[in-house]
Amino acid sequence: MGLMTGFIYDESYFWHDTGNGALFLRPGEWIEADEHGESPKSKRRVKNLLERSGFMNELQVIKPRAATREEIERNHRSSYVEKVKQLSDANGGDAGDLALVGKGSYEIALLSAGGTITGVDAVMAGHVQNVYALTRPPGHHAEKEKGIGFCLFNNVAVAARHAREKYGLKRIMILDWDVHHGNGTESSFYDDPEVLTVSIHQELNFPPDRGFAEHIGEGQGKGFNVNIPLLAGTGNAGYIYALEKVVLPLAEQFEPELIIVAAGQDASVFDPLSHMMVTADGYGMITSIVKNLAERICEGRLVVCHEGGYSAAYVPFCTLRIIESLSGLKSKVTEDPFYESIKGLPTNVLAKHQKEAVEKVISIQSQFWRFLVNQ
């Protein structure tokens, strides 16, 4: 019997308190109180769907451990870590730019980063074939010195540094398919040739001044930072084209020993914070491509870490398809229940302007990498 897919979560993740608000703004003046965009609902419902469908029984549930402060400070400044702790110990606050800290959020953020570390350890030890970590708070926006956009500690960056420290890995690939640019991860490794960072995101979304194709790294890290800004309206076909024409050729040449994915399901067709058209089945196809890549080049070592996703109704189905693809198994949820409302959209059509956006990236990165593109 083959190894199972690991699944990491903890009830504490759902207790990180971002307060009330409207999308990402606090209530007040003309903004009526509502649920904050980064509420626990979407992630709790992922866990609920896995349990309700019985698919949780097909996974190896792994309890996360908390990251140590030393592990966090490999990627973040001590003064910033202390700021998060002080806010958490008091009445909460903003740890930077829209990085909300609630009472007790420091300990939960340590457990979130530790969840991704736990995933790395499980994969490296060969206990599971791959891992999905349903972590919260998210992390990929968090810079060394401040939190940004709901993110406190950069879970994937901390995990990558742990993998280098504990296992001596020299080539790690971080693929970020969250619809928003992975600015914090980019900053962490911008001059580092041992970590290939690839961000596929909606152009000019968030942060609006980051994630351009021309941002390629610096110093020895030139060419090891890859941004693939996609145009609004891009669906499954555009994402798959970016993977096949950019990500796969890069990975084949870089030959990572471990792949970590910052997986945001906020490029979905129903997400309120983006304008993309990826479907649940599209996320399944994207994951299959990445899983097959990992099996070819790094013994299947693949850790997928949950980031954004703000459609509480649809994120669970997107994430289920991802986990199905990781495991190679199918759940009882055989059809996307939202299919009838999206079947007429051009989600599986690659438009000319979408293709050209990817080919611009190829042109820029060709000075560092070989690409074989069928025109």
Q: How far, CA to CA in Å, does 209 sit from each of 128, 182, 268?
A: 39, 12, 22
Contact 140, 156 (CB under 8 A): yes
Query: One of 76, 140, 141, 180 is an active-site residue; which one?
Result: 141
Assess whether 141 carries a catalytic annotation.
yes
Contacts of 331 (CB under 8 A, 6+ apart): 53, 54, 55, 58, 320, 324
Rounded Cα distance, 375 and 371, in Å: 12
Residues 256, 276: Cα–Cα separation, whole Å: 29
| 135 burial type by CB count under 10 A (0-12 exposed, 13-18 middle, 19+ buried) | buried
As a residue count, the chain comes to 375
The Cα diameter of the chain in Å comes to 60
Distance in angstroms (rounded) separating the CA atoms of residues 218 and 236: 31
Both structure tokens of 276 = 């993309």
Q: Which amino acid is at 115?
A: G
Which of the residues are catalytic?
141
